[in-house]
Structure 1
Amino acid sequence: MTEERSPRTGPTRTIVTPRLRLRPTSLGDADAIAALLDDHDVVKMLSRVPWPYTIEDAESFIRDRSDETVFAICLKSGGEIVGLCGIRCDANRPMRGELGYWIGRPHWGNGYATEAAHAAIDYGFTALGLDEISAHCRVINEASRKVIWKCGFRFIGSGMIDTVASGRVASEIFSLDRNCWRSLKTWGEAR
């Protein structure tokens, strides 16, 4: 008989990358998060974010994240929040998670999404002990697709997903398993 495993739990720890600090969110972040999500071009690419987005929405999101690990993506110099990222565990398949991330428009084009996604993926495979992480993006979201490819995900297929702000939209699905992630990390160290 196979023993059923579940992701490791515990307090979310802060992660430091070359330019960013990924830390747990707090209610004090609600104003900054709501200000960055006061942009339909950001929100229309996200699946679970309503439009318009309010401070109350941000507070509710921060309070009700028992099913996922969420990080505020902050600049290492100054601490300004530039977006959020995280891993949500799959309730039906506990050793699998889904990567999510967004960056506010004033910070687009700096590579912050890729840097934060790499850190969140590492956290998912190490701290949470996941076996596989998936990522979804709208077919029209070329910037997100580039982040996903840079992180080593492979294309699984396409389909439709329901979003809060945009309704039913075409989406692409990607996957990264622990073995592939481990190989990519090893290759990166060989440089």
Structure 2
Amino acid sequence: MTEEMTEERSLRAGETRTVVTPRLRLRPPILADAEPVAALLDDYDVVRMLSRVPWPYTLADAQSFIRDRSDETVFAICLKSGGEVLGLCGIRGNADRPLRGELGYWIGRPHWGNGYATEAAHAAIDYGFTALGLNEISANCRVINEASRRVIWKCGFRFIGSGMIDTAASGRVASENFSLDRSCWRSLKSWGEAQ
């Protein structure tokens, strides 16, 4: 069995590699991350923009999420220097469409405005198309979440429509839905390399 085949099998089993970007290290979350994650999500302005995060968010919620993430690839977003946890990002699988995933991300308020969400999202998208072998990645954001929309646009997603999503903290809310397919991602990557 080749090394690539072994890696592919472990990735499908829910394992996640560490990904390094210019300023960040995206690594699998560990139980020691539960405390900083819970502290960063002790902010309703962050939580109200997320679909699956309850309010209030507790240490037990963070521990449970870190322990049970079998249907998605999750990364703790950490500073490369120092290792401080800034937030989480990942790709959630789609059981009905196995080669499609959904991008999710959040950054704690103390770290807003530094471009970390875009940098982490780019890395997670690359991981989704390469390591996970996806053909399409979707993303959505609340219509009032201008910051998240900017991240999605910077990653090359195209707008596919509006709708409603159910959120754990805010109930049913209006959303905007976006998609990025493998061919568009490849084009964007080649354009970036040509500069």
Greater helix proportion: 2
How far apart in 2 are the matches of 1:29 and 1:44? 21
Q: Amino acid of the residue matched to residue 24 of structure 1?
A: P
Other-structure match for 1:95: 99
Shift of 1:10: 5.4
Q: Aligned match of 2:44 in 27, 40, 46?
A: 40
- The percent of aligned pairs where both chains have the same amino acid is 84
Q: Amino acid of the residue matched to residue 36 of structure 1?
A: L
Matched, 1:164 2:165: no
3-state SS in 1 of match to 2:176: strand
Q: Amino acid of the residue matched to residue 41 of structure 2?
A: L
Q: Amino acid of the residue matched to residue 42 of structure 1?
A: V
Q: Aligned match of 1:68 in 72, 83, 86?
A: 72
Report 1:85-164 matches (<5 A).
85-164=89-168
Shift of 1:11: 2.2
Other-structure match for 2:83: 79
Structure 1: which 5+ residue stretches go unaligned? 1-6
Q: Amino acid of the residue matched to residue 49 of structure 2?
A: M
Matched, 1:28 2:14: no
Structure 2: which 5+ residue stretches go unaligned? 1-10
3-state SS in 2 of match to 1:129: coil
3-state SS in 2 of match to 1:185: helix
How far apart in 2 are the matches of 1:166 and 1:97? 24
| Contact 1:8–1:127 (CA under 8 A) maintained in structure 2 | no
| Contact 1:8–1:129 (CA under 8 A) maintained in structure 2 | no
3-state SS in 2 of match to 1:85: strand
| Contact 1:9–1:128 (CA under 8 A) maintained in structure 2 | no
How far apart in 2 are the matches of 1:44 and 1:80? 23
How far apart in 2 are the matches of 1:109 and 1:11? 30
TM-score normalised to structure 1 length: 0.95
Superposed CA offset, 1:124-180 (max 9, x none): 000000000000000000000000000000000000000000000000000000000
How far apart in 1 are the matches of 2:62 and 2:174? 26
Q: Amino acid of the residue matched to residue 181 of structure 1?
A: W
How far apart in 2 are the matches of 1:23 and 1:8? 16
RMSD of aligned residue pairs (Cα, Å): 0.9
TM-score normalised to structure 2 length: 0.93
Q: Give the total of aligned pairs.
A: 185
